[in-house]
Chain A
Amino acid sequence: MSMPDKKGHYGIYGGKFAPETLMPALAELEAAYLAARKDREFTAELEFYNREFIGRPTPLYFARRLTDHLGGAKIYLKREDLCHTGAHKINNSLAQVLLAKRMGKTRVVAETGAGQHGVATATAAAMFGLDCEVYMGTDDVARQSLNVFRMKLLGTVVRPVDLGSKTLKDAINEAMRDWITNVANTHYVLGTVFGPHPFPMMVRDFQSVIGREARKQIMKFEGKLPDAMIACVGGGSNAMGLFHEFLEEPSIKMYGVEAGGLGIERGKHAARFAGGSLGVLQGSKTFILQDQDGQIELTHSVSAGLDYAAVGPEHAFYHDSGRIEYTYAVDEEAMEAFDLLSRLEGIIPALESAHAVAYCLKLAPTLGKDKVVIVNLSGSGDKDVMQVAKIKGVEL
């Protein structure tokens, strides 16, 4: 089964719900991407930068102390935190900026929540010599100030968005408005498997390098496929990046972990599959958090990268088909996992990734010692230390 269909649909999900101004740009982008994908020169260039600039392949690391501590399945961590700039986001940003350059665009814009996608795009733009502006909700600017400064150092203009929930959703609205206005010379580097077609497909493809590497690595270490995989799900790009390669391996169970925030109550979480319903937001038909009138609800998560009202359409499809199971971790569980991984493995995870680790803490002990689990460690916690200190009441 090859998805999406020609119109960008994943079953009933996905599509291209975009203003007319962008429809030609989306068609142009799709054509450019499909041509680039088949072009040896483009793929070779991308491989080169993945290796020499991002530092791929990232290790698949056996977490011995965590495994012993939990006393169940063997746990491997896919170390996307070791990518240049500290998260998987650059796999997509770099590829899209390379594509934008090939399309003759001179400027890129992006949205960011945790700041990781913003930093990654700023980095790729600096490296390829394109102008870059990043939109970021003012709540996120406050809690991810380190990344804001990093973007500025990289020569990017950061535009705080003081609208709506003041988080990722509102940053996407503003980035889209910018793209609508400057579409002639600008490419919009969307940061996850979301938005109008072809973004969910293109971002998935660029992130799939995670799963392709993990397959080779686990076969080398274990001589067999893993029994389970876990990834956190904001828009869903790191999860889709790991899972996509293995979707047709029925023996592997897959778990997507959303942000449970303060618990599944209106406005207090970002678990779309637990508290959402079918709707259309920012170009895509999918599960969204909305009220009785169809207005988008406020969300909450300790991690800015998961704090979002909608989820990638391909995830919605696999939710319905049952191929991927979706669960959530609340703030407190993520914080516990954050501490535990830091102390047991010497790896400080991003608060987003800590949600995946949190579910691993529940799952691994229920599985036998002969079982193997891969957890996608989507990013490093370096960006989160200031916020974690604040939560713990520590003055730096």
Chain B
Amino acid sequence: MSRIKITFNRLKKKNETALIPYIMAGDPDLATTKTLILEMEKAGCDIIEIGAPFSDPLADGPTIQKAAIRSLQNHTSIADVLGLVADVRTTSKIPLILMTYYNLIFHYGEERFVNDAASAGLDGVILPDLPPEEATVLIPLAKKAGLDTIFLLAPTSTEDRIKLVCKVSQGFVYYVSLTGVTGARAGAVQSSIEESLKKIKAATDKPVAVGFGISTPAQASQIAHWGADGVIVGSALVKVIEEHVGTPELVVRAVEFARTLKQGVLAGHGN
């Protein structure tokens, strides 16, 4: 069983929602990313999403775009990110998921990628510009290597697409909470998420994690309350990192924020 599956099963028994923070690898450097992963695990995070920077991240808002630019100043590559994963794996079992754009994987070579990723100890991959229709090469390769290919659903997804994505997605189904790109949003989360979650959960037994725009413990709490199996927080956390680049508090502040998010998620359950 994959580490992602084991994690969701374990949390389910406790009636708990996973907190899945997203950080950009190499922002501002790979050593910091490693420390962040290990410290966030200690702070109660359940799964970590690691971004690999791409020059043209068309599904990302300004915060993650800027993080990619910071990371690309050191030319962080897919090979570097897999190196980081292997490094983390020497001491940690926390599930690690790579989120990036398809060209980097295509250019690396899909077969070479799944093999290198599996031996590094990566658990899953999310490619927002690769819909299932175009993933007919990657899906079987990843399956053979034991790497989960996680696909996304959005508020615009039709019934047919919900069925398709629920069928092919491995590890969990990623529900994009809003019609838009990544980026922190203030205020209440859209109430339509509750209904969408119900619809998706009716179509699959796989865990469903919700991301895009979720920025505060209160929002995370609400999403957990609505029955999500996981809450993904990216831009808001990346923003904390951005604000502390070059200062000694970067790790402490980011981890502190992740801890409050996990508390939010815990509070949301059973309300």
Interface residues of A (CB under 8 A from B): 7, 15-25, 163-164, 169-170, 173, 176-177, 180-181, 183-184, 278-283, 285, 288, 290, 293-296
Interface residue ranges, B against A (CB under 8 Å): 54-59, 61, 65, 72, 75, 77-78, 102-104, 106-108, 128-131, 133-134, 151-158, 161, 165, 176, 179-181
Does the CB pair B179–A295 fall under 8 Å? no
A103 CB, nearest partner CB in chain B, Å: 15
Q: Which residues of B contact A282 (CB under 8 A)?
A: 56, 58
How far is A146 from B130 in the complex, measured between Cα atoms in Å?
Answer: 38
* Cβ–Cβ contact B153 & A20, under 8 A: yes
Which of B56, B65, B78, B179 lies at the interface centre, i.e. has the most chain A CB atoms within 10 A of its CB?
B56
Q: Is the CB–CB distance between A180 and B179 below 8 Å?
A: yes
Residues of B within 8 A of A169 (CB): 56
When the two chains form their complex, are residues B156 and A21 in contact, meaning their CB atoms are under 8 A apart?
A: yes
A291 to B: closest C-beta gap in Å:
9
CA gap between A177 and B179 in the complex, in Å: 10
Cβ-defined contact, B54 with A295, below 8 A: yes
Nearest CB on A from B53, distance (A): 8
- Are A180 and B181 interface neighbours, CB within 8 A? yes
A-B contact sample (20 more), CB < 8 A, given A16-B131, A20-B161? A20-B156, A20-B165, A21-B156, A21-B176, A21-B180, A23-B131, A23-B157, A24-B158, A25-B156, A177-B58, A183-B156, A278-B106, A279-B107, A282-B56, A288-B103, A293-B104, A294-B54, A294-B78, A295-B55, A296-B56
Q: Is chain A's interface secondary structure helix, strand, loop, or mixed overall?
A: mixed
**Closest chain B CB from A15 CB (angstroms):** 5
A-B contact pairs, 25 of them (CB 8 A): A16-B131, A16-B133, A16-B134, A17-B130, A18-B129, A19-B131, A19-B152, A19-B154, A20-B152, A20-B156, A20-B157, A23-B161, A24-B157, A24-B161, A25-B156, A180-B180, A180-B181, A183-B179, A282-B56, A285-B106, A293-B107, A295-B54, A295-B104, A296-B56, A296-B103
In the complex, chain A residues whose CB is within 8 Å of the CB of B56: 164, 169-170, 173, 281-282, 296
| Distance to closest chain B CB from A280 (angstroms) | 5
**CB-nearest residue of chain A to B100:** A294
* B154 touches which of A7, A20, A296 (Cβ 8 Å): A20
